[in-house]
């Protein structure tokens, strides 16, 4: 039996023997459009199991040997993140909110500063929120070794043993074996994503590993190296942390101070410059799930090599990935295709061109198409809403409010609303009135009415909202009171 994380930690007797998971949740996953969009990116979708990607990541680093995680995400996703962690029993997470994206180096520095407030020698395990590992049983021994090496003052990354000549990943070239640590090596160099010929050459050499983007180090070591190479980041992050404010379950970094950080990845800031870099080769069944083709590779297939998800029928089809999150989708007479169907967008591409989906998203953004970034279903801290139909001067939405939650006290200048309860019970504030609205009952809210919707029950509250007026944008909301501290 391999050494457990806790056993490895005890050998060094630090202030804390627990590894601190650090989960970075900053990407939009545009290559997995139309499912992944910036309003609800891939880490919040169940793509490889019944759990979402971020839930899988959190559960991977939960339990004996681990402290509560530090999660770095943006302000817009804070309630989604908190709810998804809660759903799988991951409690006590420190959720740091970035006011603006500044790449991985500032995010990791913020996590290290937070951990150092409790224990400067805490061991941190940094990982992306949206990677998959199909051989999690191999992670523990490698992480135990990494924690030992980190406590000796080095920075460790995991290099994944390549299974093919992949052009979508960066690579790490192994250097000399690390004295005293069997299975660990110095890093000779990092290599950017290669072309096909170079990828084939590196794969055949046996010296190169896929760059997983995971790091293990003590807070003290990382902060010292950041001070050496990027002191401006450390200064800005320390100021942002000193001036942070607590908001419900979140820690908000100061916007002005954090915005002063240079935009740079941890690879460029430290990994490619430090003399302390160490790599541990691993076979974790790892994938960054960076494209639909990657999901095809990860998913169970039928005898023809097809992956079918949702209401899908296939005939005379092979090597294809077909996913429908709504309407019946039929495919016939094709091979090696990727077909992804959402209620407002459809993607069709050859598997060889899976990386080009990002270019389509860029075109959609340039054309001002909301489908590039937003779903028809919009999640809020109280639940979600989705647009069912929209016309001239009217819009119909389905609104679902979680038990015990309530919307802000608000009013609109340009629209009136009519609510029909179809499931559950609603408490409705309408100016000075408080009305109990039951299933199959309705309430009318004239333009300018101060109103609020609350679910006092134990089941989700579902209602149909009919809006009417000359302007129906989401920015026509004047919030007078909000328990979620939204403006």
The verdict on 176 and 319 lying in the same domain is no
**Tokens at residue 366, please?**
């340039």
For position 418, what pLDDT does the model report? Answer: 98
The verdict on 176 and 315 lying in the same domain is no
Helix, strand or coil, per DSSP, at residue 277: strand
The runs of H, that is alpha helices, within 303-381 are 357-366
Please check whether residue 368 lies inside any domain of the structure: no
The verdict on 276 and 323 lying in the same domain is no
The verdict on 311 and 281 lying in the same domain is no
Nearest to 42 by CA among 140, 128, 110, 105: 128
How many distinct helices (H) and strands (E) make up the chain?
A: 12, 28
What is the total count of domains within the chain?
Answer: 3
**Tokens at residue 403, please?**
């038990």
Question: What's the rounded Cα separation, in Å, for the pair 271 and 214?
Answer: 11
Q: 375: which strand partners?
A: none
For position 16, what pLDDT does the model report? Answer: 58
For position 12, what pLDDT does the model report? Answer: 35
Domain end, chosen from 261, 287, 313, is at 287
Q: For the domain that residue 216 is a member of, what is the CATH number?
A: 3.90.550.10
Please check whether residue 148 lies inside any domain of the structure: yes
The verdict on 213 and 260 lying in the same domain is yes
Q: 429: which strand partners?
A: 434, 452
Q: Strand 277-282 to strand 155-160: parallel, antiparallel, or no bridges (unpaired)?
A: parallel
State the number of CA atoms in the 13 A half-sphere of 299 facing the CB.
24
pLDDT along the chain (487 residues), means of 10: 38 62 92 96 96 97 95 94 96 96 97 97 97 95 97 98 92 96 97 94 96 98 98 98 90 96 96 97 95 96 97 98 96 98 97 95 97 93 94 96 97 98 98 97 98 97 98 95 85
Question: What's the rounded Cα separation, in Å, for the pair 451 and 261?
Answer: 41
For 441, phi and psi rounded to 5 degrees?
Answer: -110, 165
Contacts of 117 (CB under 8 A, 6+ apart): none
**Tokens at residue 331, please?**
């495919």
Q: What is the pTM of this model?
A: 0.90
The runs of H, that is alpha helices, within 206-299 are 219-229, 231-242, 255-259, 266, 292-298
Helix, strand or coil, per DSSP, at residue 274: coil
Assess whether the previous peptide bond of 34 is cis (omega < 30° from 0).
yes
Q: For the domain that residue 405 is a member of, what is the CATH number?
A: 2.60.120.10
The verdict on 382 and 234 lying in the same domain is no
Q: 37: which strand partners?
A: 40
The verdict on 63 and 178 lying in the same domain is yes
For position 10, what pLDDT does the model report? Answer: 33
Please check whether residue 401 lies inside any domain of the structure: yes
For position 459, what pLDDT does the model report? Answer: 97
Residues in the chain: 487
Domain housing 332: 300-354
Question: What's the rounded Cα separation, in Å, for the pair 264 and 106?
Answer: 8
For position 69, what pLDDT does the model report? Answer: 98
Question: What's the rounded Cα separation, in Å, for the pair 376 and 360?
Answer: 19
The verdict on 414 and 333 lying in the same domain is no
Question: What's the rounded Cα separation, in Å, for the pair 363 and 367?
Answer: 6
The verdict on 327 and 476 lying in the same domain is no
Q: What is the DSSP letter of 344?
A: S
Q: 322: which strand partners?
A: 308, 339
Assess whether the previous peptide bond of 9 is cis (omega < 30° from 0).
no
């Amino acid at each position: 039996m391999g050494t457990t994380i806790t056993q490895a930690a005890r050998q060094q007797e630090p202030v804390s023997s627990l590894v601190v998971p650090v989960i970075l949740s900053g990407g939009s996953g545009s290559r997995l459009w139309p499912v992944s969009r910036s309003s609800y990116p891939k880490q919040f979708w169940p793509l490889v199991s019944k759990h979402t990607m971020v839930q899988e990541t959190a559960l991977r680093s939960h339990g004996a040997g681990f402290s509560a995680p530090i999660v770095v995400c943006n302000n817009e996703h804070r309630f989604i993140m908190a709810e998804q962690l809660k759903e799988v029993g991951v409690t006590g997470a420190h959720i740091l909110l970035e006011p603006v994206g500044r790449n991985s180096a500032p995010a990791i520095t913020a996590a290290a500063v937070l951990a150092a407030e409790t224990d400067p020698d805490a061991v941190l395990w940094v990982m992306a929120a949206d990677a998959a590992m199909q051989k999690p049983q191999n992670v523990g021994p490698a992480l135990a070794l990494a924690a030992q090496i980190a406590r000796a003052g080095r920075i460790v990354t995991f290099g994944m043993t390549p299974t093919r000549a992949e052009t979508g990943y960066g690579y790490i070239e192994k250097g000399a074996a690390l004295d005293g640590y069997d299975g660990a090596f110095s890093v000779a160099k990092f290599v950017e994503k290669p072309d096909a010929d170079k990828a084939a050459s590196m794969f055949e050499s046996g010296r190169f590993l896929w760059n997983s983007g995971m790091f293990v180090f003590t807070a003290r070591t990382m902060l010292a190296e950041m001070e050496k190479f990027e002191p401006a980041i450390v200064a800005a992050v320390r100021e942002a942390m000193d001036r942070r404010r607590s908001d419900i379950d979140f820690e908000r970094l100061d916007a002005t101070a954090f915005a002063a950080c240079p935009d740079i990845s941890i690879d460029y800031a430290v990994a490619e410059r430090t003399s302390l870099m160490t790599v541990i080769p691993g076979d974790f069944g790892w994938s960054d799930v960076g494209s639909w083709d990657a999901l095809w590779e990860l998913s169970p297939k039928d005898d023809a090599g097809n992956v079918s998800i949702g209401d899908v029928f296939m005939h005379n089809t092979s090597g294809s990935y077909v996913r429908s999150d709504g309407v019946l989708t039929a495919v016939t007479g094709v091979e090696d295709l990727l077909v992804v169907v959402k209620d407002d967008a459809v993607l069709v591409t050859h598997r060889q061109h899976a990386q080009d989906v990002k270019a389509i998203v860029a075109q959609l953004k340039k054309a001002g198409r909301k489908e590039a970034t937003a779903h028809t279903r919009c999640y809020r801290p109280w639940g979600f809403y989705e647009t069912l139909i929209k016309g001239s001067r009217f819009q119909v939405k389905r609104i679902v409010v979680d038990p015990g939650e309530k919307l802000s006290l608000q009013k609109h200048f340009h629209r009136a609303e009519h609510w029909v309860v179809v499931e559950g019970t609603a408490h409705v504030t309408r100016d000075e009135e408080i009305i109990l609205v039951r299933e199959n009952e309705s309430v009318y809210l004239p333009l300018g009415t101060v109103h609020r919707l609350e679910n006092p029950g134990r089941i989700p509250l579902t209602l149909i909202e009919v809006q009417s007026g000359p302007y129906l944008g989401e920015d026509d909301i004047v919030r007078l009171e909000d328990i979620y501290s939204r403006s």
